[in-house]
């Protein structure tokens, strides 16, 4: 027993050290990369400032909006209200980014055991993509924390019959979905996994509670939009624009089938000005629907071009290295991702029979790829899911070293319970007899 306690303390210490390394790297990067106020590219900080000033959820300070999902602006507003200043948001992102290290280790522990779980934590800690996003006033770091927490909580809930675990898992999933709406697609996958591999008693009640809890944040957001905009909007009014941003003839001609690796600033601004003129008299939901129709027109008129754009979006999503920055930085980041991806694929292969984690992670990677074949895509959209790849990479490395944690039959929770329950009952019965004998003496 003392030996086991000592080993447990060592493992906890290792994770704590990796957490501190992750936090130090992120704090140092923010200090080096953001000498002043960070750029508010997507107006998250602007929306947060209007919320704090009592002007509501708005970009211009007067008109209500659903153009951006509310999760990250609410987080920014909360941090600024508590600590003041936009820079405090970046420090908070450093803490959340380091917290993902712990979540990755806890998920990996289900596949690799205690010995190789820190490998997943270390991969997240030093991930140059994950570290780099902490200095940006964008939703990726916050969403990465929520998505990884949702996966962990779903796995945690599947291993017990406690309804409160499914409530927590659902709420985390819903919070992630109102931060990046495509994560709504995680709900059917997680519900199916819980129905197939969760504990049999009250299984479908647990699934129903999970789905309901996930729907609560999304429903509140939709009800707010019904009241503020006059229409039920459960995601955003930004989706049509991001779809049209990829599926338009100019982008296809200049980038997808053209000579440029990115849309030139002048051409993009001219296209945006033309769109603004066409939609000047429309409401936000009307503009959103108009953009979807425009993109649909290209797909119907030029299906081969649309297929080319979709394939191009998938390639951009999985591109190993960023297209900007110093060459040595791009090469180093690209090499890191290639190694991570190779071991993740290996881990997926060797753990496929271990029900739950590998299937859910593969499902997330699949639907995120499909989503970004339809909408605007780039490497940044993939970064929040690197911790899930790190989990699978830890399993691949464990297999490389012949870890016994990966060997053995893949049994469900109920099958495992059936195997161990008779032995546990026998031990309890034996203990009861011993106590009775002691009493007679």
Instruction: Say what the pLDDT of residue 424 is.
Output: 37
The contacts of residue 418 (CB under 8 Å, 6+ apart) are none
Count Cβ atoms within 10 A of the Cβ of residue 402 and give its class: 0-12 exposed, 13-18 middle, 19 or more buried: exposed
**DSSP label at 38?**
P
Instruction: Say what the pLDDT of residue 199 is.
Output: 73
Per-domain residue ranges of the chain: 2-410
Residue count of the chain, please give it.
441
Count Cβ atoms within 10 A of the Cβ of residue 217 and give its class: 0-12 exposed, 13-18 middle, 19 or more buried: buried
Q: Which residues pair with 58 in a beta bridge?
A: 64
Q: Tokens for 173?
A: 């999933």
What is the rounded distance in angstroms from the CA atom of residue 73 to the CA atom of residue 408? Answer: 46
What is the rounded distance in angstroms from the CA atom of residue 107 to the CA atom of residue 7? Answer: 19
Q: Which residues pair with 421 in a beta bridge?
A: none
Instruction: Say what the pLDDT of residue 404 is.
Output: 54
Q: Tokens for 271?
A: 């296209």
Q: Tokens for 353?
A: 């029979």
Q: What is the pLDDT along the chain (441 residues), one digit of tens a residue?
A: 456 677 778 888 999 999 999 999 999 999 998 777 788 889 999 999 999 999 999 999 999 999 999 999 999 999 999 998 889 999 999 999 999 999 999 999 988 888 899 999 999 999 999 999 999 999 999 999 999 999 999 999 998 778 899 999 999 999 999 999 999 999 999 999 999 988 767 888 999 999 999 999 999 999 999 999 999 999 999 999 999 999 999 999 999 998 888 899 999 999 999 999 999 999 999 999 999 999 999 999 999 999 999 999 999 999 999 988 788 999 999 999 999 999 999 999 999 988 889 999 999 999 999 999 999 999 999 999 999 999 999 999 998 887 655 543 343 444 444 433 444 344 445 555 555 555 555
Q: How far is CA 23 from CA 43, 384, 386, in A?
A: 26, 17, 17
Instruction: Say what the pLDDT of residue 226 is.
Output: 97
* Best CA proximity match to 248, nearest among 309, 316, 315: 309
The torsion angles phi and psi of 64, rounded to 5 degrees, stand at -65, 150
HSE, side-chain direction, 13 A CA sphere, residue 130 = 33
Q: How far is CA 344 from CA 8, 181, 203, 257, 263, in A?
A: 26, 25, 30, 32, 32
Q: Where are the alpha helices (DSSP H) in 116-202?
A: 117-126, 128-133, 140-158, 163-177, 186-197
């Amino acid at each position: 027993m003392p030996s086991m306690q000592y080993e447990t303390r060592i493992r906890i210490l290792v994770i704590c050290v990796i957490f501190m390394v992750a936090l130090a790297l992120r704090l140092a990067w923010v200090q080096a990369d953001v000498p002043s106020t960070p750029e508010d590219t997507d107006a998250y900080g602007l929306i947060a400032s209007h919320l704090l000033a009592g002007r509501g959820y708005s970009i211009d300070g007067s008109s209500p909006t659903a153009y951006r999902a509310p999760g990250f602006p609410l987080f920014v507003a909360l941090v600024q209200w508590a600590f003041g200043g936009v820079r405090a948001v970046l420090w908070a992102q450093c803490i959340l980014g380091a917290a993902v290290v712990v979540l990755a280790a806890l998920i990996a522990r289900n596949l690799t055991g205690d010995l190789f779980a820190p490998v997943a934590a270390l991969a997240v800690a030093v991930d140059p993509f994950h570290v780099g996003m902490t200095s940006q006033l964008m939703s990726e770091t916050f969403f990465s924390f929520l998505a990884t927490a949702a996966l962990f909580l779903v796995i945690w809930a599947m291993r017990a019959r406690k309804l409160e675990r499914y409530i927590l898992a659902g709420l985390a999933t819903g919070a992630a979905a109102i931060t990046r709406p495509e994560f709504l697609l995680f709900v059917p996958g997680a519900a199916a996994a819980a129905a197939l591999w969760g504990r049999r008693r009250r299984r479908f009640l647990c699934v129903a509670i999970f789905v309901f809890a996930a729907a609560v944040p999304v429903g509140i957001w939709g009800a707010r939009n019904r009241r503020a905009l006059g229409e039920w909007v459960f995601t955003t009014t930004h989706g049509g624009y991001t779809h049209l941003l990829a599926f338009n003839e100019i982008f296809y001609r200049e980038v997808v089938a053209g000579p440029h690796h990115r849309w030139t600033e002048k051409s993009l601004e001219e296209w945006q000005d033309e769109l603004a003129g066409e939609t000047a008299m429309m409401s936000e939901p009307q503009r959103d629907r108009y953009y979807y129709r425009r993109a649909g027109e290209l797909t119907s008129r030029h299906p081969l071009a649309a297929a080319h754009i979709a394939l191009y979006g998938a390639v951009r999503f999985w591109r190993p290295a960023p297209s900007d920055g110093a060459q040595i930085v791009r090469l180093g980041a690209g090499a890191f991702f290639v190694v991570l991806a190779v071991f993740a694929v290996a881990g997926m292969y060797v753990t496929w029979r271990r029900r739950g984690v590998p299937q859910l992670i593969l499902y997330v990677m699949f639907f995120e790829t499909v989503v970004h074949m339809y909408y605007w895509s780039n490497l940044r959209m993939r970064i929040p899911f690197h911790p899930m790849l790190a989990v699978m990479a830890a399993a691949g490395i464990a297999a490389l070293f012949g870890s016994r944690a990966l060997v053995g039959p893949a049994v469900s929770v109920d099958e495992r319970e059936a195997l161990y329950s008779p032995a546990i009952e026998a031990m309890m019965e034996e203990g009861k007899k011993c106590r009775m004998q002691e009493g007679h003496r």
